[in-house]
Structure 1
Amino acid sequence: MTKVLIVETNVTRYGGTDDPTGLWLGEAAEFVEEMQQAGIDVDYVSPKGGFVPLDPRSMKYTDDAILTIYENPDFIERGLTHTMRPSQIDPANYAAIYYTGGHGVMWDFPDNEELQQIARQIMQQGGYVTSVCHGIAGLLNIKDDQGQYVIAGKKITGFTTAEEIIAGKKSVVPFLNRTVAEAHGAHFTKKRFYSEYAVQDGQLITGQNPFSVRAVAKILVEALTH
């Protein structure tokens, strides 16, 4: 059975501030709905396991589809309340890993070696490593067995510097996605801010912003079912 592992943040605040952040709800919910429609099962993991906070701003960008997933008891239980810890994950069970966004991930995704190992094994067994928006933070530091960054030489995308400026967070975030991606050898591509954009380069599938979730999901479904 094909299964995808969804990665979510445990971070509740922007580093060193009282400003709340967390998972961008739509980046999980829309992806889950696309997987459901394709008959693909999902599991949920977070760096610490357990509770996943929601970025309050993401609640302003909901629709009936997002709220339907949000109200689903399974999503509440497995996706928000009792996510698994990385140590509970057997990568052999998954055809892909999907890193959700929300600014919180910039603090607990980049240097989590357990998550990196899961992603590395999924790639080694021919699976896909995918992300949307700030979720690219989970890909930036993954290295292969030769010590090379897996994004090196690859076309990827993620939340842009222009989008950070518009969101009012450029001075708060610990790094800029494009800066780190290019320092690690990636070809960072983008479209106009807040435009839907997703790109596949081999086993990597990435989306630019919250409006790109379904585009990422559809590329992944196509890759997994054909």
Structure 2
Amino acid sequence: MKKALIVMTNVEKYSPSNRPTGLWLGELTHFYEHMDKAGIQVDFVSPLGGYIPLDPHAMSFLNDTDLHYYQDRDFVSKALANTKKPSQVKADDYDVIYYTGGHGVMWDFPENQELAEIASAIYQKGGIVSAVCHGVVGLLPIKDQEGQPLIAGKTVTGFANTEEDLNGTTDQVPYLTEDALKEKGAIYESSTAFTPFVRVDGRLITGQNPQSAGAVGQAVLDLLASQI
């Protein structure tokens, strides 16, 4: 049976301001829906483990998929209240790792070497590394077998500078996601702001924005099917 590991942030506010942030819920639920319907077992992890804050702005965009899982007490308990710590996770158990977004990830994903090592191990054993929106910053510290950035020379996408500007948060984030990917040597591509856009480069799958989370999930399933 295939198994996926979903990564989420523990950061609940922009720094140094007190503007609230956290997980963009749809980036969890729309990916998870594909795993759930395909019978893929899923575990949930965060840099600190435990509770996952939700970006309040995201809650005004909930659709039927989001509400279905948000009203599922068992799902909420596992995915939002009691996530695993990286030390409780063994890379050998997983075929897929997926980094969700929300602005909070910009502070805790790139600094977490434990998660980077888990992702690197999954990739090096033939697994899939995937991410969406700001969650792609979780790819920044991941190394390949030669110790080089995993995304160097690979085609990726992620939250675009134009989207950050349209969102009104360019001056509130510590760096720009698009720029950070390019600085690591990635070949960055994007499409129209806030429309689904996914890039697949081998076993590396990335989505541009919240609207791309479901498409990332489908791309992961397609790649898993091709490996059988």
Q: Secondary structure at the match of 2:57?
A: helix
| Residue-by-residue CA offset, 1:53-72 (whole Å, 9 max, x unaligned) | 00000101111111101111
Corresponding residue for residue 152 of structure 2: 152
Kept in 1: contact 2:2–2:94 (CA 8 A): yes
CA distance in 1 between counterparts of 2:94 and 2:129 reads 11
CA distance in 2 between counterparts of 1:114 and 1:42 reads 19
| Residue-by-residue CA offset, 1:45-84 (whole Å, 9 max, x unaligned) | 0000000000000101111111101111222111000100
Matching of residues 76-155 of structure 1 within 5 Å: 76-155=76-155
Corresponding residue for residue 225 of structure 1: 225
CA distance in 1 between counterparts of 2:197 and 2:42 reads 23
Paired letter, 1:224: L
Corresponding residue for residue 30 of structure 1: 30
CA distance in 1 between counterparts of 2:154 and 2:183 reads 12
| Residue-by-residue CA offset, 1:149-178 (whole Å, 9 max, x unaligned) | 000010000001000011111001111111
CA distance in 1 between counterparts of 2:163 and 2:189 reads 14
Q: How well do the aligned residues superpose, as a CA RMSD in angstroms?
A: 0.8
> Percent identity, aligned pairs only?
49
Deviation of the 1:7 alpha carbon = 0.2
Paired letter, 2:70: Y
CA distance in 2 between counterparts of 1:71 and 1:3 reads 24
The structure 1 segments of at least 4 consecutive aligned residues displaced by more than 6 Å after TM superposition are none
Q: Structure 1 length normalisation: TM-score?
A: 0.98
Deviation of the 1:11 alpha carbon = 0.2
Q: Structure 2 length normalisation: TM-score?
A: 0.97
Paired letter, 1:166: L
Q: Secondary structure at the match of 1:134?
A: helix
Paired letter, 2:125: Q
CA distance in 2 between counterparts of 1:143 and 1:124 reads 10
Corresponding residue for residue 165 of structure 2: 165
Q: Secondary structure at the match of 2:19?
A: coil
Mind listing any 5+ residue stretches in structure 1 that lack a counterpart? none
Q: Secondary structure at the match of 2:106?
A: helix
Deviation of the 1:182 alpha carbon = 1.1
